[in-house]
Structure formats: structure tokens, C-alpha cells
Amino acid sequence: MAPPGTSGFRIETIDSISEIPETTWDGFAGTGNPFLRHSFLLALETSGCTTAATGWTPSHLAFYQGDKVVGVAPAYLKNHSMGEYVFDWAWADAFQRYGLPYYPKLLIAVPFTPSTGGRLLLDGDFRAQLQPEALVAALDDVAKKTNAHSWHLLFPDEQDRLVFNETDHLHRLGCQFHWFNRHYADFDSFLDVLTSRKRKSIRKERRQVAEQGIHFAQFPGRALPEQVLSAFYVFYQATYLKRGQRPYLNLAFFSALVANQPDQVHVTMALHGDKMIAGALFLMGDDTLYGRYWGCLEEYNHLHFETCYYQGIELAIARGLKCFDAGAQGEHKLVRGFEPQLTHSWHWVEHPGFTDALRDFCQQERAQTRAYHQAALEALPFRQEN
């Protein structure tokens, strides 16, 4: 068998994840991360959320060693930059000003999901042999073969980062805020590790939600009534419509998600009396709770914080999950005990004239992001131990 980096190693693109057996895909991806499962990515396609019409043409990667499939990766040809959460609009604008094409681009990521996880889902023995230079050369080549002018790998986990750290491709940093469960018995035991001021502030927020006559109902995926899911979807749509945008996901996707991954789905509904007024949908991995989708029709004081964060923290504690990833953005999470975490992405652009300028940009951005991350660490609301 030829070693990686020779003609025996190649990457081919797949037009639909349905062309790859679920057992094959999940054999590489596992089932612990809900976003990497075959059923999740298939639901995006069959519901019409990731299609050529939406600008997300499936172009999944299959890694071959000889005739044997030794890995896969979720990938899409894009003709826009929406739904990615690593923003490259300025890059696209610069190309356009010089009369150069920026799209299509090859995106290696989970659509609409700014969450760190595996991207190159490879056989362990193959990964151990794989030379970083051979990998990036193969990615460059597959981008060219698909007529893409660049490739972008977003939110890779540590295992993938070890590969790309050894390359000279463009490297960007971001910062998110995650909550960590340090063996808390309940929400109050979490509050006990915060400063008195922050502890009182959170208790006041929760009390004010209750004083508005709001209470919560919990619906694990296997006990999620259709009418509750439909109500949640109305709330989810409102989040986008308020900003003049169309939602990325449709009800058919959420229905398929619940049907195929019920043990990883949990919906929290806020009620005022008997009326559902807001909702949040969480997904659960082996050790992480993911808060991804939420919405409401009317504004209530502190309802967003309670539904998306405090209810999520209680759920993570109840399920014994180590981490709660509540999504992108959010300095407002910092004061509520969510800790800053660096995120990563790697990029390649075909046009050599832009590469040096973008490398300088990425270097400056990384320095700024690291400084922001350090400042956020110093602003955490935890009590100092004597």
C-alpha cells in the first residue's frame, strides 16, 4: 500500500451524503457529536436546507487510500458566506473590487453550526501516517477540481488542529464562551463559586422571570409532542424575521432531527399560564450540551437569559454533561459564568497576490483575539480562593 502523500492517497467529492452508507460515515464520525452524524447532515439535505438552491451544494469529501475509504469530511460548495460564523465578507469584497472571483468556495464545516468538532473524520491508522503537507496539497487540489477559488475549514477540534498547526495556510482565531460543569450538584452550587455581586444578580434575574408568571416545561426528544415542536419552530422563525432574514432551517429539518436523533434532542418551553411564549432546542453529545436554536414572539424581562442559559445550565448539571456550548457571540455570557474559549479556522485562497495580504490580516487578527481572550479570562466572575 502506498504511503500518504503519494498517488495512493486522494480525495474525491460526493454530491450527497446519501451516497455514503450511514454505517460508513458514522464509523468515522461516531455518534457522540450530534452535528457530525450522518442523520443530521442527511436531514439538512432532504429538508432542502443545504442544496444548490440555498447556496449550499453538498460536496462531501471522501478520503481514499488505494481503493479503500479511510475518511470523510462534511463539505459544501458555496456561492455566498451566510451561515458560517467565521466572517469573510471583507475578503469577498476585496476580490470583487479587483474584478476577481471569490466564489464558489469549498467550505469544510457543519452548516449553520459555529461549534468546535471533528472535521477530518479519518481512520486512526491513516491519520497517524498522514503528512500535513500531503493533506493540504490534496485539499488545494480538490478545491481546484471543483472550480472553487478557495477552501475554508471551520471550527476544527484539537486532533485536526494538530495537523494544520504544521502548515503555513491562513489561520484565524475567534472567541466563544462556554460553561463548564465542575461537578456541581445543582444550580445553587454553581452560584456558590461566583462572586457575591454576580450571584445576587443572577438570582435577581431568575426571580424577575418567575415574577412575570413564567414557568418552564421540559421535553426530551422521545417525549416531544408535535404541537410543541411546531410552536418552537414559530419562535425560531421569529428570531430571524425580527432581523429581516429568512431562517436557515425549516420545520421538516427539525422533524427529521427529532425522528432520527431523539435521544440527543431536548426542548425547553417557557409558558405564561398555559400559553407557550418562548422555546429553546438543545442537542446533547457524549459530554457536551449544545444550545443552538431559540426564539420568542414577545419580549419579557430576562427571558432570553433564563431560557437559553440558566435552563441549559440546569440541564447540563442534571445530565452530568461536562460542558455547555451555548453558541457564538456573547460577552453577556461572561458575567454569567461562561468562560472564553479560542476557536480556530484554516483557509487557502488560490490567488497568490492576495495570500500575503490575508496572512498579515490573520496575524493581526490573531493577536487581537488573543488579547481579547486574556482580558475576558481576567474578567470572569468566579470568587478568588485564598
List of domains in the chain? 9-175+341-378 (3.40.630.30), 182-321 (3.40.630.30)
The CA-based angle 127-22-283, given to 5 degrees, is 90
pLDDT beyond 50 at 5: no
pLDDT value at position 267?
A: 98
Element (H, E) at 14: strand 9-14
Give the predicted TM-score (pTM) of the model: 0.95
Q: How confident is the model at residue 44 (pLDDT cuts 50, 70, 90)?
A: very high
pLDDT value at position 329?
A: 78
| Average pLDDT of span 136-152 | 97
pLDDT value at position 6?
A: 41
pLDDT value at position 166?
A: 86
| Average pLDDT of span 170-181 | 98
Q: Is the peptide bond before 132 cis (omega within 30 degrees of 0)?
A: no
pLDDT value at position 328?
A: 85
pLDDT value at position 7?
A: 46
pLDDT beyond 50 at 301: yes
3-state secondary structure of 324: strand
pLDDT beyond 60 at 134: yes
pLDDT value at position 3?
A: 42
pLDDT beyond 70 at 223: yes
Contacts 24+ apart (CB under 8 A), 293-297: 293/232, 293/236, 293/249, 294/235, 294/236, 294/239, 295/232, 295/234, 295/235, 295/236, 295/237, 295/238, 295/239, 296/235, 296/238, 296/270, 297/234, 297/235, 297/238
Q: Model confidence over 305-358: pLDDT tens digits?
A: 999 999 999 999 999 999 999 988 778 999 999 999 999 999 999 999 999 999
CA gap 59, 120 in Å, rounded: 14
Q: Model confidence over 76-92: pLDDT tens digits?
A: 999 999 999 999 999 99
What are 12's strand-pairing partners? 62
pLDDT beyond 80 at 385: no
Q: How confident is the model at residue 1 (pLDDT cuts 50, 70, 90)?
A: very low
pLDDT beyond 50 at 225: yes
pLDDT beyond 90 at 2: no
Q: What percent of the chain has pLDDT over 90?
A: 93
pLDDT value at position 8?
A: 66
| Average pLDDT of span 219-237 | 97
Q: Which residues contact 269 (CB under 8 A, 6 or more apart)?
A: 216, 217, 219, 228, 231, 232, 276, 278, 279
Tell me the pLDDT of the chain averaged across its residues.
Answer: 95
pLDDT value at position 25?
A: 98
CA gap 26, 72 in Å, rounded: 10
Terminal-residue alpha carbon distance, the chain: 60
